[in-house]
Amino acid sequence: MNLEDDLAYELFSEMEIAERVAALGEAITKDYADKADEGIVLICVLRGAAIFMGDLARQIKLPLEMDYMAVSSYGNGTKSSGVVRILKDLSSSIEGKHVIIAEDILDSGLTLKFLIKSLKARKPASIEVCTLLRKDTPNQADVNCRYIGFECPNEFIVGYGLDYAERYRNVSCIGVLKPEIYS
Ligand code: XMP
Ligand code: MG
């Protein structure tokens, strides 16, 4: 049984992802070099961004905190419900700190819109988004993403942390799932 056999095609290889994540880390390191004293917090949106943030954090050559949040916008299906709920909140205060949200994929944009609003109310010094993927979704909410890993087609994407029904997160590449798997 090979998980990769369920992919219709690969979008980004393990090597391409590593190179892109290194470039994102380098950009963040440059942009935040003079902000590290005030505190930098990387916030992982569980569970999809866990692998991405783990790799990204090690490419940022500055002291930082890592914190985790879980929100629900999807059930086990593939369509956004439009309802976003906090399932697990941050462990520490972000007041006065520079927040970078690490997200796996920007689809409708509803999740990030909600998160940015909710985190802004806690008075961080700044807040930016680093998303691994931005999907080519019609009517995507206008979300300001300072850092974007890759643009991807409006298909169901799995791998490198992204799941379908909790599977495929441990696939090393990013790919499009065969439609017959979820239909
Ligand atoms: P919205 O629509 O709020 O969605 O921008 C963001 C969240 O939805 C999940 N999502 C996906 N998960 N493959 C996945 O594994 C996909 O193609 C996909 N599209 C959206 C994801 O959890 C993201 O945080
Ligand atoms: Mg997610």
Summarize pLDDT for 13-59 with one digit per residue, the tens: 999 999 999 999 999 999 999 999 999 999 999 999 999 999 999 99
Ligand 2 center from residue 29 Cα (angstroms): 24
Q: Could you give the CA distance from residue 37 to residue 63 in angstroms, rounded to a whole number?
A: 9
Q: Mind listing the domains of the chain with CATH numbers? A: 15-154 (3.40.50.2020)
Q: Could you give the CA distance from residue 145 to residue 130 in angstroms, rounded to a whole number?
A: 6
User: What does the pLDDT look like over 116-169, one tens digit per residue?
Assistant: 999 999 999 999 999 999 999 999 999 999 999 999 999 999 999 999 999 999
Predicted TM-score (pTM) of this structure: 0.94
The DSSP result for 45-95, as a single string, is EETTTHHHHHHHHHT--S--EEEEEEEES--SSSS--S--EEEE--SS--T
The tokens describing 121, both together, are: 């109310």
Catalytic residue among 6, 104, 107, 163: 107
Nearest ligand for residue 70 CA = 2
Q: Could you give the CA distance from residue 60 to residue 33 in angstroms, rounded to a whole number?
A: 10
Q: Is the ipTM of this complex over 0.90?
A: yes
Annotation marks residue 136 as catalytic: no
